[in-house]
Amino acid sequence: MLELRLVQGSLLKKVLESVKDLVTDANFDCSATGFSLQAMDSSHVALVALLLRSEGFEHYRCDRNLSMGMNLNNMSKMLKCAGNDDIITIKADDGSDTVTFMFESPTQDKIADFEMKLMDIDSEHLGIPEAEYHAIVRMPSAEFARICKDLSSIGDTVVISVTKEGVKFSTRGDIGTANIVCRQNTSVDKPEESTIIEMNEPVSLTFALRYMNSFTKATPLANSVTISLSSELPVVVEYKIAEMGYIRFYLAPKIED
Amino acid sequence: SCLQRKILDYFGEN
């Protein structure tokens, strides 16, 4: 038996909107730790890892570990029927091939339940090691989204370079080139508007902008985004989900042929 | 030209 009650149902709606274009089908894993997902895009170039910790739910009952295969487009269709202020409860019985999403309006005057068919998904679970990164950049998520969108109108790839001068986002295309440098800025009153660069050593990596733009669909989940770079690892683009956990996108770099 | 690496080039299966 599984019953997860999320008062801030809009979080789940936002999570779905941020992953459904990247991943078609995925297993949601439910354990005592929380509600999680790990899935790669169909090209195996990007990976998404989501964790919503059990403590973040108003009610969290998960009698035994359960993996539920869902088509994310269908799940999104169902969650779009929930109001932004609705409380969402996810329910499933052991051995059932369906999951139920229950939506309650804040005033309890409307209660809806949507039952969705589950599917068997054969997916490998990857081991992601704890790692030291050469550089970690924290910046406003809206700023990062703007940069990715702007650069994708010029080129297909972005070179992200971190030096002690700051973080530089560069692209080139048929019409020309573009460089955007963001310097460390901690003087602003609001911490979420600051840009903080931790650099152990300079790093420069090239990524497909199409994937970066897809990751920025998670912007509504967090004011800040953290970009962790190392020359030996995929970049990690992380959006913290307030009080609950995170959504992390991993993207393998492009390298010189 | 650039070669796109894959996630599996970095992370192994659990």
- Which B residues, 1 through 14, put their C-beta within 8 Å of a C-beta on chain A? 1-14
pLDDT > 70 in chain A, percent: 100
Q: How far apart are alpha carbons A163 and A202 in whole angstroms? A: 5
Chain B closest-CA separation from residue A152 CA (Å)? 17
Q: How many CA atoms lie within 13 A of A147 on its CB side?
A: 23
Q: Which residue of chain B is at minimal alpha-carbon distance from A236?
A: B7
pLDDT the model gives residue A175? 97
B2 vs A14, more confident: A14
Q: How far apart are alpha carbons A228 and A250 in whole angstroms? A: 10
Residues from chain B contacting residue A233 (CB–CB below 8 Å): 10
**Which residues on adjacent β-strands are paired with residue A112?**
A103
Does A127 sit within 8 Å of B14, measured CB to CB?
yes
Q: How far apart are alpha carbons A228 and A217 in whole angstroms? A: 18
Residue B1 has pLDDT above 80, yes or no: no
pLDDT tens figures, A25-77: 999 999 999 999 999 999 999 999 999 999 999 999 999 999 999 999 999 99
CB of A3 within 8 A of CB of A38?
Answer: no
Residues from chain A contacting residue B13 (CB–CB below 8 Å): 124-127
Q: How far apart are alpha carbons A85 and A82 in whole angstroms? A: 8
pLDDT the model gives residue A97? 95
Q: How far apart are alpha carbons A241 and A56 in whole angstroms? A: 10
Name the strands in the sheet holding A2-6, side by side, starting at the edge strand that comes first in the sequence.
A59-62, A2-6, A87-92, A98-104, A111-117
Confidence of residue B14 (pLDDT cuts 50, 70, 90): low
Chain B closest-CA separation from residue A129 CA (Å)? 8
Residues from chain B contacting residue A43 (CB–CB below 8 Å): 4, 6
